[in-house]
Amino acid sequence: MLLLTLAAIAVPVEMRDLGHATLDFRAYPGDFVANVLGFVPVGLVFARVGRLQAIVAAALLSTTAEVSQLVMMYRDPSGADILANTIGAALGAGIGTYWELRPPELALNRWTGWGGAIGACAIVIWGLVPAANPINTRGYTSPGTLEAHWKFDEPGGNTAGDSSGHGLNGRFHNPPKRVSGVLNGAAAFDGATDSIDLHQSTPLRLAGSMTITAWINSSKFPANDAAVISQFGGDAGYQLDTTVDRGPRTIGFKLTNSHGELMARYGATPLGLGAWYHIAGVYNAAARTLDVYLDGELDNGDLLGTITPQQRSARAGVAVGQRQDADGYAFAGSIDDARIYSLALTREEIKAVMRGDGIGRATEHERPRAADRIRMSDKEDTIIPLRAAMLGMMTAIAILSWWRSAGQTACLLAGLFAGLLLLPPLFSYLPLFNLWLIPLVSLAGGASVALATRCSPQ
């Protein structure tokens, strides 16, 4: 139990620079209760050394874990968590000393062997499923190109054809109303159910420079953002929208920087209803600039966040007319000629796009090379260390259940080997330092079982 707790809260899947997270002291009832309950078993484990010693040990353990989260991606270090964990450990230690409970020993037999083997196989097979498509290196380590282009000129149907050559055809959730646009046809979105969902794809998982453009004509505004093109998902992604974040309704161009924080540029000109506007958001990774354009002219307003030379792409697909990860951020009105480039377009190129032309610049259409692979984790990866610890434990249970003469060394080797089986699918995206922590966590899982087992009759 102690190992599983540590794997869940103290093993990083990706590091971040110090200074981009602070210790939060706000308490949320649900999280507080969960942390209290989660550390009760820790108190039970430490109770054998005495109640006070158990509380101090658990408090030090929790404090170390929370402080270490200051340099971990997707972790939110919290002083309230330290308090909740200590309370939970105190309850566990009190229960353990009052009833003189001993840490449970795992009784092994052939049935636990089958359970451990099946559990280990399930974890390995689950881990073999690719987490996501690779990140697109165009615009970062290689020249960029036009990644997606939806003209919305179809006479009907549920499909929005992609003219970029990458085959990123979108599908409307409901057949849209086809209307006249600025450049031939356009699609009308009702702000409720009319949106396009594009599944995960490498071309739209950008890490470097990018430009998003579209002609829009809003019929009504939501209370919050009206997402035109969105890949926001969890703690990563990008979005071009109209927004009231800074007061009046303006362009909003929002991305996630390499530290997992929002970086956003807002427009300076208020937008109205019933008029066609050409909007564009431009991120220049090399220059560390973030700009928005309205009808071909620079329209920079407020800048929020730190611009880094890399953006953090989400694993979610792209949505048109709706925020990817939440309801209530839908666009109502017409959209025409929407494009995504892995390039930072210039003012002249944006004017060409407004006219429906190409940008007149040679671009790169080659497939990204494996040597240019960008290693970037996602929030859902934070479960991987816990999975590795469970794998090591399950493997050791199977070994000791079937081969009673196997010693601790066999458990350690089995746990390490099992952890190595998790590496192939992780190798494509986890940073190398964090990658090699995984088999070590699995090894520790095997060791924890070897230290707390006894054999029972078959």
Residue 17 lies in a domain: yes
**What whole-number distance in Å separates Cα of residue 63 and Cα of residue 47?**
19
pTM for the model? 0.86
Residue 121 lies in a domain: yes
**288 and 330 assigned to the same domain:** yes
Share of the chain above pLDDT 90, in %: 54
Residue with the bigger pLDDT between 108 and 330: it is 330
Identity (one letter) of the amino acid at 305?
G
The 10 Å Cβ neighbour count of residue 27 is 14
pLDDT of the residue at 78: 92
Name the 3-class secondary structure at 457.
coil
**321 and 419 assigned to the same domain:** no
Identity (one letter) of the amino acid at 125?
I
Which structural domain, as residue segments, surrounds residue 406?
108-131+378-458
The 10 Å Cβ neighbour count of residue 4 is 17
pLDDT of the residue at 363: 63
Residue 138 lies in a domain: no
Q: Is the pLDDT of residue 406 over 80?
A: no
Residue 137 lies in a domain: no
171 pairs with which residues across the strands? 159, 197
**306 and 438 assigned to the same domain:** no
Residue with the bigger pLDDT between 371 and 381: it is 381
**357 and 446 assigned to the same domain:** no
**295 and 420 assigned to the same domain:** no
**What whole-number distance in Å separates Cα of residue 335 and Cα of residue 170?**
14
pLDDT in tens, 6-50: 777 788 999 988 888 888 888 889 999 999 998 998 888 888 888
Confidence class for position 264, pLDDT limits 50, 70, 90 = very high
**356 and 253 assigned to the same domain:** yes
Identity (one letter) of the amino acid at 380?
E
pLDDT in tens, 295-327: 999 999 999 999 999 999 888 889 999 987 777
**423 and 274 assigned to the same domain:** no
Look at residues 319, 350, 372 and tell me which one is the last residue of a structural domain.
Answer: 372
**188 and 66 assigned to the same domain:** no
Residue 73 lies in a domain: yes
- Six token digits for residue 11: 């093993």
**79 and 122 assigned to the same domain:** no
**180 and 275 assigned to the same domain:** yes
pLDDT of the residue at 456: 46
End-to-end distance of the chain based on CA atoms, in angstroms? 26
pLDDT in tens, 187-211: 999 888 888 988 788 899 999 999 9
**301 and 225 assigned to the same domain:** yes
Residue 99 lies in a domain: yes
Most confident of 6-15, 27-36, 243-252, 390-399: 243-252
Q: Taking each helix axis from N to C terminus, what angle separates 2-10 and 384-402, rounded to the nearest 10 degrees? A: 150
pLDDT of the residue at 365: 56
CATH number of 307's domain: 2.60.120.200
Look at residues 372, 394, 422 and tell me which one is the last residue of a structural domain.
Answer: 372
> Could you give the number of structural domains in the chain?
3
**What whole-number distance in Å separates Cα of residue 450 and Cα of residue 458?**
19
Taking CA atoms, 405 is separated from 67, 120, 408, 450, in Å, by 42, 21, 10, 12
**What whole-number distance in Å separates Cα of residue 84 and Cα of residue 34?**
9
pLDDT in tens, 111-160: 889 999 999 999 998 887 766 678 888 988 888 999 999 999 998 888 89
**347 and 417 assigned to the same domain:** no
Identity (one letter) of the amino acid at 223?
A
Residue with the bigger pLDDT between 458 and 35: it is 35
- Six token digits for residue 254: 């929002």
pLDDT of the residue at 371: 47
